């Protein structure tokens, strides 16, 4: 039932689906601020936005120590507990949907999923307790057992929403990531200094920096430490890079052999000017974003004005690491002033991350249309 969905500032967005609401901001607007305001931040939903009362919301946390027993002793936390019992951490982190730039893969061959452009990424300041602090206190696991569990266990998250694919939205991350003090996984109740908006997960969501957006579960309801990955559709039957010979005819047998996505890959996009744009100025500022996964920095961004024959470094890259962990969870915004763009030329951009990872020259097609990070091209810009 979508009648209780919140109101949205629609003119900021290209709406890809109304029900569930899926929208990405226009690209020049997306990069006009380093921190994306919540009414510009992309919105990716699999169902109606639940109408949750903060005073009544309880989050349940449990540990399933082994497969056999399956018995879990759940503990419940009120939102008041979550907001007061642990130190409040503040992390600036970008979220990017694994389906960002799916349109580029859809051009190669039919894909399954919302056809997104390059705007399903945004950057915000998130605040709330660290998941590692909560688990240490609540999970009640002896230090040596925890030491063992950390190698193979997962933390599964379930949401308080209704989706058609499963009982609720859900996902998991390795326990190792959750417990890493430099991993910066938090349970966020604030976005950009304000309570979370309903579209972005009110009253509580997980923020898993450096990972695909799908793992940052909104409307958080249950947290379970368990020996295996979440059994959710969204962990097991989605968000995987299937091999190129898998399509709708043989996909069912392929899911279990492909691994679930976690960390993002290296990505870079030109947000302005746009294809076929008529630019009425002497010099053109080419501007866009770049990001990598796992907290890796963007090390270099290169722009080509001739379709990729010659390259030059951009003038400026703004990317701020987390002041405590030193990790690059937030995107880079880069720009370059260009004197003249010939109508016949093609702008191309590519980024390198701090591990030397590079972007493929051409889109790598996969049935779910995920993780498209091929070098980004913009042709037919007219300068007058
Ligand atoms: N959490 C819930 N409960 N329901 C959802 O549909 N979508 C996921 C993730 N968390 C989703 C969710 C996906 S695929 C992405 S990319 C991000 O949330 C999007 O977060 P945003 O809507 O705040 O941009
Ligand atoms: Mo996503």
The predicted-structure confidence for 108-143, as pLDDT tens digits, reads as follows 999 999 999 999 999 999 999 999 999 999 888 888
* Contact yes or no for 64/111 (Cβ under 8 A): no
Distance of CA 172 from the midpoint of ligand 1 (Å): 13
Task: Please report which helix (H) or strand (E) contains residue 104, including its range.
Answer: helix 102-106
* Contact yes or no for 34/318 (Cβ under 8 A): yes
Distance of CA 213 from the midpoint of ligand 2 (Å): 5
CATH number of 267-383, picked from 3.40.50.300, 2.60.40.650, 3.40.50.10260, 2.120.10.30 = 2.60.40.650
Query: Which residues of the chain, if any, have pLDDT below 70?
Result: 67-70
Question: What distance in Å separates the CA atoms of residue 384 and residue 382, rounded to the nearest whole number?
Answer: 7
Domain layout of the chain by residue ranges: 22-257, 267-383
> CB count, 10 Å around CB of 51?
12
Question: What distance in Å separates the CA atoms of residue 137 and residue 158, rounded to the nearest whole number?
Answer: 20
pLDDT value of residue 221: 98
pTM of the complete model: 0.98
Question: What distance in Å separates the CA atoms of residue 51 and residue 220, rounded to the nearest whole number?
Answer: 13
pLDDT value of residue 69: 67
Q: Which ligand is located closest to the Cα atom of residue 232?
A: 1
Is the CB of 220 inside a 6 Å radius of any atom of ligand 1?
Answer: no
Specify the ligand 1 atom closest to the Cα of 159.
3
Q: Which residue has the tokens 């091929």?
A: 374
Is the CB of 240 inside a 6 Å radius of any atom of ligand 1?
Answer: no
pLDDT value of residue 350: 98
Tokens coding 182: 């430099």
Probe ligand 1: pick from 46, 190, 368, max atoms within 8 Å of CB? 46
* Contact yes or no for 254/241 (Cβ under 8 A): no
User: At the topology level of CATH, where does 22-257 sit?
Assistant: Sulfite Oxidase; Chain A, domain 2 (3.90.420)
Whole-number Cα distances in Å, 203 to 173, 217, 310, 361? 21, 12, 49, 41
Probe ligand 1: pick from 36, 45, 260, max atoms within 8 Å of CB? 45
């Amino acid at each position: 039932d979508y009648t209780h969905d919140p109101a949205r500032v629609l003119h900021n967005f290209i709406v890809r689906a109304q029900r569930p609401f899926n929208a990405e901001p226009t690209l020049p607007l997306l990069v006009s601020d380093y921190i994306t305001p919540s009414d510009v931040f992309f919105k990716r939903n699999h169902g109606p936005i639940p109408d949750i009362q903060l005073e009544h919301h309880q989050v349940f946390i449990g540990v399933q120590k082994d497969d056999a027993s399956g018995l879990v002793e759940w503990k419940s936390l009120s939102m008041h507990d979550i907001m007061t019992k642990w130190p409040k951490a503040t992390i600036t982190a970008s979220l990017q949907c694994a389906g960002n730039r799916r349109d580029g893969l859809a051009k190669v061959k039919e894909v399954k999923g919302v056809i997104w452009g390059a705007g399903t990424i945004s950057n915000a300041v998130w605040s709330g307790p660290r998941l590692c602090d909560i688990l240490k206190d609540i999970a009640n696991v002896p230090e040596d057992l925890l030491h063992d569990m950390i190698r193979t266990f997962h933390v599964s998250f379930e949401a308080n929403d209704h989706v058609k694919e499963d009982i609720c939205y859900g996902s998991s991350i390795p326990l190792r990531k959750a417990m890493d003090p430099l991993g910066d996984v938090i349970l966020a109740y604030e976005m950009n200094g304000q309570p979370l908006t309903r579209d972005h997960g009110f009253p509580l969501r997980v923020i898993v920096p450096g990972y695909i957006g799908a793992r940052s579960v909104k409307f958080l309801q249950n947290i379970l430490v368990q020996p295996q990955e979440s059994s959710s559709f969204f962990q097991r039957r989605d968000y995987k890079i299937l091999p190129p010979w898998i399509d709708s005819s043989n996909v069912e047998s392929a899911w279990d052999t492909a691994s679930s996505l976690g960390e993002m890959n290296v990505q870079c996009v030109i947000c302005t000017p746009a294809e076929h744009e008529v630019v009425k100025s002497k010099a053109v500022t080419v501007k866009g974003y770049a990001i990598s996964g796992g907290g890796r920095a963007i090390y270099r961004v290169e722009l080509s004005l001739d379709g990729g024959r010659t390259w030059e470094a951009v003038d400026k890259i703004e990317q701020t690491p987390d002041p405590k962990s030193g990790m690059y969870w937030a995107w880079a915004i880069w720009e370059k002033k260009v004197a003249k763009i010939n109508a016949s030329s093609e702008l191309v951009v590519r980024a390198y991350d701090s591990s030397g990872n590079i972007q493929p020259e051409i889109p790598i097609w996969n049935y779910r249309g995920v993780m498209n990070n091929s070098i980004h091209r913009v042709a037919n810009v007219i300068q007058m």
